[in-house]
Structure 1
Amino acid sequence: MSAAQLYRPEAVFFDLDGTLIDTAPDFFRVMNMQRGQRGLPAMAYEAVRKTVSDGARAMVKLSFTMEETDAEFELLRQELLDLYLRHIAVDSRLFEGYEALLSLLESQGVSWGVVTNKPRLYSEALLQALGLNSRMAALVCPDDVSRTKPDPEPMLLASRLADCDPQRCWYVGDHIRDIQAGANAGMLTIAAAYGYLDEPESALAWNADHVAHSVEDIAALLKQVL
């Protein structure tokens, strides 16, 4: 999409882990706590970082080299999530540049929110710990919908909560399912290639309207229309 086709958004929505917030340090800690309880050596940070956007199931598979059909899998997944909730937002932070970007949106009267596949229990705890929950126009989690991303249902719900037209909204995400969900809802889509992608150039294949290699790239797009 060319710059001429950019439009002033009524709202900008973000994926959570790996897009808006860098949560990898906290998952790194709790995954290694879980492994340590079983006498296993610590995992490398980069291996964990590359897996965070794929969710708790992927992290358990990575940590214990097992499949979901294993008898212990669900117990380990829930144990990991319980550890995470008890140690949430110890080191999680907005990606660099986002405080300025969110402040820009707010100063221009543009709503913002989060659409994530992270369950509400953990999303709310994280956002509250970082003082972001009171600033948002919408938070949509898998608990709130019958079909999750890449289905457009979460995006359409976020638009209703923010009282805006989905076809006048932007969505930023770091996974192909994010771009598909945003496109399916008629939103302008931005692939976040600055987060946890092993190969940032892979985002070019997602057919997003724009690819952001930094938060400043998103801000630059916004400044063209605000």
Structure 2
Amino acid sequence: MESGAPTPWAVRAVLFDLDGTLLDTAPDMAHALNLLRAEQGRAPLPYEDIRPRVSDGSAALIGYAFDLAPQAPEFEALRRRFLDLYRTHLVRETRVFPGMEPVLARLEAADIRWGVVTNKPAWLTDPLVRALGLWERAACVVSGDTTANRKPHPEPLYHACRLAGRPPHRCLYVGDARRDIEAGRCAGMKTLIALFGYVGADPAPESWGADGMVRRPGELPDWIVWDRAGADAEPA
């Protein structure tokens, strides 16, 4: 991983993980989880304990909230009920992370395409992205069930590149989980860790093998070559 000042890359597309990278979805997921706990006669869990686990997905949240293994008889029913509750409250508080909108606007102005690659299923991803007015702007939206394999497999990222019309080596993938970085590296992309997301309790995200880390969305432009002539000088 690079240290010190970033060395900008001549990328022609930036792909984002959804939860904890492009969107701050933790408030609504925490709300749904505590609604489920209330249905089960349990007290709410602190938001600060739920937030770091959001990027791990619904199974991890159910395991944490109910101290259950996936093999438990009631596990799948609880997980499905959680997702139903979450769908009902999908955009209650969810927003684009503060500082991300200017980054998207700058990418669009520079004709650097951007898109989403998430493990979230399409029946949740699509209405969420549409509700926030991002669907028509994104060059691609790839969900966890769009391709046969999910991250950390690189297949979703390859698919996103095809949709965006950009080769993997000219793409940057930004995510807040180890599997994001593993998928990006396997696909031959540059990778950045979104430390402002739900990185969680991992004591050493620098061990994930990413090319860099950003503490806030406003640092992303520092990693990109914005001069079109300079960006196009590298062979596609």
TM-score (norm 1): 0.95
Aligned-residue offset at 1:143: 1.2
Residues 1:22 and 2:15 aligned together = no
CA distance in 1, matches of 2:202, 2:10: 27
Match of 1:8 in 2: 10
CA distance in 2, matches of 1:55, 1:6: 32
CA distance in 1, matches of 2:114, 2:179: 20
Decide whether aligned partners of structure 1 residues 148 and 138 sit closer, same or farther in structure 2, where only a CA change above 3 A counts. same
| Alignment of structure 1 residues 189-208 onto 2, 5 Å | 189-199=191-201, 202-208=204-210
Give, as a single letter, the amino acid of the residue that structure 2 aligns with 1:174. Answer: D
> Identity over the aligned pairs, expressed in percent?
41
Residues 1:91 and 2:79 aligned together = no
Residues 1:157 and 2:159 aligned together = yes
Aligned-residue offset at 1:197: 2.1
| Alignment of structure 1 residues 143-222 onto 2, 5 Å | 143-199=145-201, 202-222=204-224
CA distance in 1, matches of 2:50, 2:194: 18
Matched length: 226
Are the counterparts in 2 of residues 194 and 200 from structure 1 also a CA contact under 8 Å? no
Residues 1:71 and 2:73 aligned together = yes
CA distance in 2, matches of 1:225, 1:205: 31
CA distance in 2, matches of 1:57, 1:200: 19
Are the counterparts in 2 of residues 193 and 200 from structure 1 also a CA contact under 8 Å? no
Decide whether aligned partners of structure 1 residues 33 and 204 sit closer, same or farther in structure 2, where only a CA change above 3 A counts. same
Higher RCO (C-alpha under 8 Å, 6+ residues apart): 2
Decide whether aligned partners of structure 1 residues 14 and 218 sit closer, same or farther in structure 2, where only a CA change above 3 A counts. same
Residues 1:124 and 2:138 aligned together = no
The answer to which structure has the higher helix fraction is: 1
Decide whether aligned partners of structure 1 residues 4 and 91 sit closer, same or farther in structure 2, where only a CA change above 3 A counts. closer
Give, as a single letter, the amino acid of the residue that structure 1 aligns with 2:209. Answer: N
Match of 1:142 in 2: 144
CA-based RMSD of the aligned residues comes to: 1.7
Which structure 2 residue ranges, 5 or more long, are not aligned?
A: 229-236
Decide whether aligned partners of structure 1 residues 225 and 207 sit closer, same or farther in structure 2, where only a CA change above 3 A counts. farther
Match of residue 38, structure 2, among 36, 39, 55: 36
TM-score (norm 2): 0.91
